[in-house]
Amino acid sequence: MNPRRLLAVIVLAMLSLSACDKDSSVHGFDFNFENLTDKPINVKIYKTQTDYDNGTNVYLSGKMQVRGYYTIPVDQLVNGETYYVDWYSDDLLYTNWYWSNITLRTTFKSSDNDYEYLVNTVQYPDPSRTIWMNGLGTQTTWVAKDAYHLSGSTYSSVWSSLTSAQQNVQVILNKDFSAHLLLQNASSQTIDSVLSYRPNYDDVNNVSVITLLDQEQDTVGTITSNFAPATSSFNGDDSTALINIRNIGYYKIVR
């Protein structure tokens, strides 16, 4: 073979190998987040479940444009270790903070067989995180400010007829979907019920509804967002909600 031609073949082969190495680095050895949504997506990565729940010690973070990527070099991840992911759009309508949806991953392990994380939404744009976590918070406290008797679809205040102990109602919601329902008995002693909760967005009525569950997974009550007591409707501010506590009644609670 002509020496010049041989040299050209060698150069082309080397360039081809270089291109293959570069492609395998982006899509094989590095870990890639791919944004399949129609909005830019923020990504935060934590090393522990506790840090994820509390929003502390962010290990890595980045942002993906629409149909874009966020790539983590392989040397920043320990093979086989579990990492915890929090992703969300700027308006928080797309997020993986969602109750028990197996298609929305909150963890990943970097390995030879798992090197890509697809960010996609499978539900309607959902404001639940903005409402119940007040954005990117990790806990909210809701305090009773009124109580009601329900007749038909009309809520009539009975607040003034309640004792101070009956008026003292609080709900604490945590990012990890645990909750505390704080009530007072006749002796003004606080009763703390440790619960879990499931938020669910009702896109028809444009409200988010929480189901409160006890340790046996029985329903203790429900909380409906955007309660507007003046009109007995649910088109009000997202910092006001209506809680219906089993065997107790209805309260307006405010964040």
Give pLDDT tens digits for 120-160.
876 679 999 999 999 999 999 999 999 999 999 899 999 99
Residue 11 falls inside a structural domain:
no
The range of the structural domain enclosing residue 148 comes to 132-254
CATH number at residue 44: 2.60.40
> What pLDDT, on the 0 to 100 scale, is given for residue 122?
66
Query: Residues 196, 179: contact at Cβ < 8 Å?
Result: yes
Amino acid 229: pLDDT: 87
Can you list the alpha helix ranges (DSSP code H) found in the chain? 3-24, 49-54, 128-132, 164-167
113 and 221 in a single domain? The answer is no
Is residue 221 within 8 A of residue 229, CB to CB? The reply is no
**Would you state the structure tokens that stand for residue 214, as one six-digit string?**
């006890």
Give domain status of residue 16, yes or no. no
HSE of 63, CA atoms in CB hemisphere, 13 A? 5
Q: Which two tokens stand for residue 90?
A: 């700027």
Q: What is the pLDDT of residue 22?
A: 36
Residue 1 lies in a domain: no
Residues 157 and 247 in one domain: yes
pLDDT score at 26: 41
pLDDT for res 109:
84
Residues of the chain falling short of pLDDT 50? 1-28
At 29 the pLDDT is 67
Whether residue 10 is contained in a domain is answered as no
Say which residues have a Cβ less than 8 Å from residue 145's Cβ, sequence separation at least 6.
Answer: 251, 252, 253, 254
Residues 250, 143, single domain; the answer is yes
